[in-house]
Amino acid sequence: MAHISLKNMLRPGFVGRSFKSGCRFQRHWDTPMASAFFCGETGAGLFILSMLLDFLPGILLGLVITGVGKTFFHLTHMGAPHKSWRAILRPDRSWVSRGLWGIIFFVGFGVIHVMGELFGVLPAAFEMPVFLLALAGAMVVIVYQGFAMSHSTAISLWSSGLMPVASLLYGLLAGASLVMMFAASGFAVADEGRLAVVATAEPLLIVAVAMVLLSLLHGAKHGSKGAQQSYELLTRDFLAQPFLLGVLGVGVILPLLILLLAPAGFITTAVATGAILFGFYLFRVVIFKAGVLDPILNPANGFFR
Amino acid sequence: MTSYGMVFDIKRCIGCNACTVACKQENSLPDGMFFTRTLSAESGEYPNVSRTYLPTICNHCEDAPCERVCPSGATYTRDDGIVMVDGTKCIGCGSCAVACPYDMRTKVEPDLIRNGLFGDGNLTPFEEQGYSRFECGTFTKCDFCSERVDAGKDPACVATCPTNARIFGDLDDPDSKASRLIRERMGRQPLPEKNTRPKVFYID
């Protein structure tokens, strides 16, 4: 991994790329992929909530974040971006492929929906199907990355059913916080009643995210050797500061305190939204960097005399 | 039906890495790329210490996670069980690399291919000929030297091993040497808990 120094790769318990048996960092999915995941989930979360609230600026921003941001970072990550269209070919078995179909549906039908809203070009009979197809695409986009990670049995930290749950909750939380930010900025997001529902859901989503994060840590602590190394990295080693202070402190505790205790207003909403998005992005980066492969040959399997 | 696999006799392996070098030569692998490696592991405490050499290679798993997650269909399994990568179809997304529990996928870094071993862009005749098989930015791996296998030969690492620590054969043939060794000496698979059903076995 580009940003993990040689010192970190060869820290106790790790063997880097040397010819020794031991734990190794996954080094193939890095910051561009984390950024793509962040954009996908944030954009889809904002889109879903904005669609349900019928809030056009949020729908547009969600489409741009996913359609432009996520696509850009994915292409940056790809080794052969000119062939990336081929990723549509295996939706029967690959979550990456399913995700690409989700993006196509989400952005494609999302744009058609926006065109219909803005210019009235969509016949009335097609409005609901387009709305539902765009929403279905966004639902796929918001969870598929978690499924793609949880499918990786190689990295025990990721190989958890909590990954898609984390993706869904974080995406909805980012979307809800951005919607509240729009409302605090003076946009007519929705009527008071529906906005109150989002405002109530936001701290609940933060609590749910916190529970998922702690459950991930708990699973890693009691998992395989690679998972235990990931737990050590996240709680005591060089990733402890970004995870405990950044993801949990700034991304979870700070916005929760602000939302529960501080008076509602533009500044407090902006700070809470910034903290949530910062913590979410850091979560994506840190969870990639903490990905550790189990030792290829395990002493438990009797390979050592 | 044929199902090729490999057996590593840990007792015989002396850690010379001749297999590693033969593989690099056979496959024209650039600097830093390996399809096979012989790892070393120390165990015990002084004065009762021992070092074990553990050859590693793509396990050509029956339920290959790299094939399962590949979104472009670049990774596929031949009828004889060899898991292959079609570089022309690979998009370099790295899904296979993070799905492989054995860390056996390697990226064809464009810089290595373009600049060559000496880093000045002047490729040696060996590099010019050998690197033409790679697609820059894609992921690749061991294919059990499929061209040699198709010609009835053993993979290069097997042919080179000076101690016969690597045994290649048809695991579906109960009379093949590989099958007999697995049966008689209780061959073990690496990371069986990952449920990939590797076709590489270790005996000691």
Structure token pair of residue A136? 């279905």
Q: Which residues of B touch A87 (CB under 8 A)?
A: 71-72, 91, 93
CATH architecture classification, A6-15+24-296:
Up-down Bundle (1.20)
- More confident: B4 or A189: B4
pLDDT given at position A305? 45
| Model confidence pLDDT, tens digit, residues A85-132 | 999 999 999 999 999 999 999 999 999 999 999 998 889 999 999 999
- More confident: A298 or B171: B171
pLDDT given at position A109? 97
Interface A:B, Cβ pairs < 8 A:
160
Adjacent-strand bridge partners of B49: B44
Window 92-121 of B, Cβ < 8 Å to A? 92-95, 97-103, 105, 107-108
Q: Are the Cβ atoms of B94 and A77 closer than 8 angstroms?
A: yes
Q: Are the Cβ atoms of A153 and B196 closer than 8 angstroms?
A: yes
Window 167-206 of A, Cβ < 8 Å to B? none
Q: Which residues of B touch A90 (CB under 8 A)?
A: 70-73
Query: pLDDT averaged over chain B?
Result: 93
CB B168 within 8 A of CB B6: yes
Across the range A147-163, mean pLDDT stands at: 94
Structure token pair of residue B12? 């015989």
Q: Which residues of A touch B50 (CB under 8 A)?
A: 304-305
Window 11-50 of B, Cβ < 8 Å to A? 17, 32, 37-41, 43, 50
- Tell me the H-state helices in B2-58: 18-27
Window 130-159 of A, Cβ < 8 Å to B? 148, 151-155, 158
CB B165 within 8 A of CB A125: no
Adjacent-strand bridge partners of A155: A293
Q: What is the distance between the alpha carbons of residues A183 and A176, in angstroms, rounded to a whole number?
A: 11
Q: How far is CA B24 from the centre of its chain?
A: 11
Give the pLDDT band of residue A4 (cuts 50, 70, 90): low
- Tell me the H-state helices in chain B: 18-27, 65-69, 95-99, 110-115, 125-131, 146-150, 156-160, 177-184
Model pTM score: 0.92
Q: What is the distance between the alpha carbons of residues B24 and B112, in angstroms, rounded to a whole number?
A: 14
- Residue B57's alpha-carbon distances to A207, A302, B5, B141, B166, in angstroms, are 45, 19, 11, 9, 11
Residues constituting chain A: 305
Q: Are the Cβ atoms of B56 and A296 closer than 8 angstroms?
A: yes
Q: Are the Cβ atoms of A303 and B68 closer than 8 angstroms?
A: no
pLDDT > 90? residue A295? no
Task: Report domain extents, chain A.
Answer: 6-15+24-296
Window 61-90 of B, Cβ < 8 Å to A? 65, 68-74, 89-90
A115 touches chain B (CB under 8 A): no
Hey, how many other C-beta atoms are within 10 angstroms of the C-beta on B192?
Answer: 12
Structure token pair of residue A276? 């949530």
Give residue B68's identity as a one-letter amino acid code.
R
C-alpha neighbours within 13 Å on the C-beta side of residue A129: 5
- Name the residue with tokens 């880093």: B119
Hey, how many other C-beta atoms are within 10 angstroms of the C-beta on B148?
Answer: 17
A195: Cβ contacts below 8 Å, ≥ 6 apart: A53, A180, A183, A189
CB A198 within 8 A of CB A176: yes
Q: Which residue in the set B72, B97, B107 is minimally distant from A86, CB to CB?
A: B72
Window 201-230 of A, Cβ < 8 Å to B? 224
A38: Cβ contacts below 8 Å, ≥ 6 apart: A280, A281, A284
| Model confidence pLDDT, tens digit, residues B1-53 | 899 999 999 999 999 999 999 999 999 999 889 999 999 888 788 898 888 88
- Residue A297's alpha-carbon distances to A65, A182, A210, A300, B7, in angstroms, are 42, 53, 34, 9, 14
Q: What is the distance between the alpha carbons of residues A291 and A173, in angstroms, rounded to a whole number?
A: 24
Q: Which residues of A touch B136 (CB under 8 A)?
A: 79-80
Structure token pair of residue A20? 């020794």
pLDDT given at position A7? 59
Across the range A147-155, mean pLDDT stands at: 93
Q: What is the distance between the alpha carbons of residues B90 and A84, in angstroms, rounded to a whole number?
A: 9
Q: Which residue in the set A21, A96, A158 is minimally distant from B93, CB to CB?
A: A96
Q: Is A152 strand, coil or helix?
A: coil
| Model confidence pLDDT, tens digit, residues A202-261 | 999 999 999 999 999 999 999 999 999 999 999 998 999 999 999 999 999 999 999 999
Across the range A23-29, mean pLDDT stands at: 90
- Residue A87's alpha-carbon distances to A67, A78, A80, A230, B89, in angstroms, are 16, 11, 11, 30, 10
Distance from CA of A224 to the nearest CA of B (A): 10
pLDDT > 80? residue A14? no
Q: What is the distance between the alpha carbons of residues A38 and A205, in angstroms, rounded to a whole number?
A: 17
Comparing B103-112, B145-154, B176-185, the range with the smallest average pLDDT is B103-112
Q: Which fold has domain B4-203?
A: Alpha-Beta Plaits (3.30.70)
